[in-house]
Amino acid sequence: MKILIITGCAGAVQGWGDLETTENICKVIRESGSEVEILYVNNRDELIQGLDSLTYDIVWSALYHVSNNEDYIGVASDELWVADILDQRGIPYIGPDAKTMRTLIDKSATTFILREANVPVPEQHVIHPGETIAKETYPWFVKPRFESESAGISEKSVVHSDEELKSRLNFIHDTFRQPALVEEYLPGSELTVAVLGNGKDRKILPVVNVIDKSAYKQYPLVTVELKVKDLITFEIPRRNFDEAVALAKRAAEVLKCHDHIRIDMREDVRGKLKVIEVNGIPGLNPIKSRSLQIHALYHLGYSKADNFSKLIHTVITSAIKRHKLTGSRSDSPVDEQMLVTEEYR
Ligand SMILES: Nc1ncnc2c1ncn2[C@@H]1O[C@H](COP(=O)(O)OP(=O)(O)O)[C@@H](O)[C@H]1O
Ligand SMILES: [Mg+2]
């Protein structure tokens, strides 16, 4: 089995992680006896040339779309979407399919589809550059429509007046060159749920974010600052475990997700969980990615390195099974070591 990993300079900003993360993933793949190669691309031509000239069985992309922007995700033109290019060539890949990838990077499209399917989501307005909105009641939450990794999020994202709202909209429009979302502020706990595997093998692993009161002024939000300083820890939720599992399951089904996604949700003013985001390419940093930390909480007694390796193998074997790649274009059998069968809980 040979895996081709596609990445580029936007790998970190699009959520997966930097080149070091990718190299760590390659290391655990090699340790399992499989082959892996990195295709680092700067533009669409390099991607197509690599896809057409290399030999591999399945692709794993760290990129939603090919981009030179290391600072933010931004809005991609149509021809740059990696999963679309893979579909055009009939190449199997790990993770959600092309249509779902486009939906997941667009928080407004995700919310729309979930709302139509009666999955609880916050009230949300899309505000384009040059436009604004006035509200009768406050607070509201303002964030970019297409970003990841808490870009543009701080306690100033919670606005209390028309003036604050306008100023935050200007900030999002000027910084990220894209529409902003004005969302119902969800004041309760925040959960993040790793969804691994497919069908009857799917594992849904919720954790609650724990942020010490001394780490923030007024609003406990997942900000870059708190993430960098490791001020957010995770626990298996007791209070709303079943609600989180049911919500994540439903969201993953409605959005037709595969292999590995991570869903963020928060409690509204009544304590009811609502989905704020579905990550189609969750972070895979071998030390501090949330998927790894979640996996470790559900596999106590294993080292961090073992947990990382199990997580990577679970994602890969889920995709191999889903694509029914029992043989291999490079004529080696699926590695037994990669078939993770052990139960989680
Ligand atoms: N409607 C909301 N109400 C309260 N907090 C929110 C809301 N939307 C996002 N947040 C906070 O902002 C963080 C980042 O938002 P999210 O939509 O998950 O985007 P991303 O993780 O892609 O940057 C969340 O983890 C949460 O702490
Ligand atoms: Mg998020």
pLDDT at site 302: 96
pLDDT at site 326: 73
27: Cβ contacts below 8 Å, ≥ 6 apart: none
| Helix locations, 19-72, DSSP H | 19-31, 44-53
Query: Which residue, by CA, sits nearest to atom 20 of ligand 1?
Result: 148
Question: Ligand 1 in contact with 141 (CB < 6 A)?
Answer: yes
**Contact between residue 295 and residue 315 where contact means Cβ atoms under 8 Å apart:** no
Nearest to 72 by CA among 10, 127, 16: 10
pTM for the complete prediction? 0.94
Question: Ligand 1 in contact with 140 (CB < 6 A)?
Answer: no
Spell out, as residue ranges, where the chain has pLDDT lower than 50. Answer: 328-345
pLDDT at site 343: 41
Q: Please report the atom of ligand 1 found closest to the CA of residue 279.
A: 22
Question: Ligand 1 in contact with 274 (CB < 6 A)?
Answer: no
Q: How far is the CA of 167 from the centre of ligand 2 (A)?
A: 23
* Residue 224 tokens, joined: 């870059």
As residues whose CB is below 5 A from the ion ligand 2, the structure lists 264, 277
265: Cβ contacts below 8 Å, ≥ 6 apart: 190, 191, 192, 193, 244, 247, 248, 273, 274, 275, 276
* Residue 303 tokens, joined: 């080292």
**Contact between residue 274 and residue 266 where contact means Cβ atoms under 8 Å apart:** yes
How many CA atoms lie within 13 Å of 109's alpha carbon, on the beta-carbon side?
11
For the CA of 222, the nearest ligand? 1
pLDDT at site 333: 37
For the chain, the residue count is 345
- The Cα 168–Cα 165 span in angstroms is 5
Residue matched to tokens 């028309």: 162
Pocket test for ligand 1, best of 103, 150, 262 (most atoms within 8 A of CB): 150
Q: Is the CA virtual torsion 214, 217, 222, 224 positive or negative?
A: negative
pLDDT at site 335: 37
Query: Which residue, by CA, sits nearest to atom 16 of ligand 1?
Result: 277
Q: Which amino acid, one-letter code, is at 55? A: T
Compute the C-alpha angle 272/281/301, nearest 5°.
75
Query: Which residue, by CA, sits nearest to atom 15 of ligand 1?
Result: 150
Question: Ligand 1 in contact with 308 (CB < 6 A)?
Answer: no
Per residue in 259-269, pLDDT tens?
A: 999 999 999 99
